[in-house]
Chain A
Amino acid sequence: MADGLARDASIFVAACVCGVASGLFGIGGGVLLVPFLALFFAFGQHRAQGTSLVALIPPTGLLAFLAYARAGYVSWKIGLLLIPGVIVGGILGGLLAKRLQPQRMRQVFAGVMLVLGIWQAAAVWWR
């Protein structure tokens, strides 16, 4: 049981790290949580993704959101317009995930993120 407890504790700590990234960058945190679960806790890819989705059901970003809202950093109009699309798209994506080769899909996505990340960091700091 101590073993299970240690595992739980390390999962909690890993999730805290994801949370800091979530608050710092205004993201869900799943993008870190999925690889964490897979790399450190031996979750299969689908299981890591499903579990990450569970963690994203409750409003985990609530405290971070309040910090932004207090500072006036929220565009309600755009936010509310985006929500329905994300929900419908999420269902489509879940269905697609069963058909597609997720490995390939993830690598394409990782490539896009890499380019975007380099571009964004360079645009800000390269001068």
Chain B
Amino acid sequence: MTLMVLLLGLAVGVLVGLLGIGGGVVLVPAMVYLLHLDQHMAQGTSLLILLPPVGLGALREYWKQGQVDVRVGILCALGMLVGGYGGGLIAVPLSSRHLRGLFGCFLILAAFLLWRKPQPKSPLGDSVGEESSRG
């Protein structure tokens, strides 16, 4: 059980680095189906996992290639902090059943967003000079 949880973390982490996502979208269903947590429990635990900077190692690789816009990143962090509070308030009183269904719908939406991607074929660091990558 413990080993499985450790390996699951490793597998999720690879996706985090590979796709630049938080990993919660994989963690939550994995905890629900593999570890049999309740939907609310899985979501709360996922938020706990995302508190430390789990993406730091992955970020380093992107940083080396200049593929980071720090200013926009910080702006997004602020927005997500505010929005996150609202989302949490909505989720907690919902029934676990409906929350799981909603989560399913969200996965479908996210899948479409992830699939359809404009291909501007941006070469590495094309706009690095424009955006102040670093103050």
Pairwise interchain contact B13-A117, C-beta atoms closer than 8 A: no
Q: Which of A49, A79, A110, A116 contacts B45 (CB 8 A)?
A: A79
Pairwise interchain contact A23-B83, C-beta atoms closer than 8 A: yes
Q: Take A43-B69, A90-B14, A107-B115 as given contacts and tell me if A66 and B98 are in contact as well, using a CB distance cutoff of 8 Å.
A: no
* A71 proximity list for chain B (CB < 8 A): 40, 44, 92
CA distance A84 to B8 in the complex (A): 10
* B40 proximity list for chain A (CB < 8 A): 68, 71, 73
Q: Check if A2 is an interface residue, CB within 8 A of chain B.
A: no
CA distance A32 to B83 in the complex (A): 13
- One digit per residue, 1 when the CB lies within 8 angstroms of any chain B CB and 0 when it does not, for chain A 1-31 equals 0000000100111111111111111111111
Interface of B is mostly: helix
CA distance A102 to B86 in the complex (A): 33
Q: In the complex, which residues 12-32 of chain B have their Cβ closer than 8 Å to any Cβ of chain A?
A: 12-25, 27-29, 31
CA distance A31 to B44 in the complex (A): 18
Q: Check if B120 is an interface residue, CB within 8 A of chain A.
A: yes
* B68 proximity list for chain A (CB < 8 A): 47, 50-51, 53-54
CB distance from A24 to the nearest CB of B (A): 4
22 A-B interface contacts by CB (under 8 A):
A19-B82, A19-B85, A20-B90, A23-B84, A25-B102, A27-B28, A35-B114, A49-B19, A55-B77, A56-B77, A59-B50, A61-B84, A62-B51, A65-B51, A68-B47, A85-B6, A92-B14, A97-B20, A102-B18, A111-B111, A113-B25, A117-B107
Q: What 9 pairs between A and B have smallest CB-CB spacing?
A: A28-B22, A89-B13, A19-B83, A85-B9, A93-B17, A23-B87, A49-B20, A26-B43, A15-B79
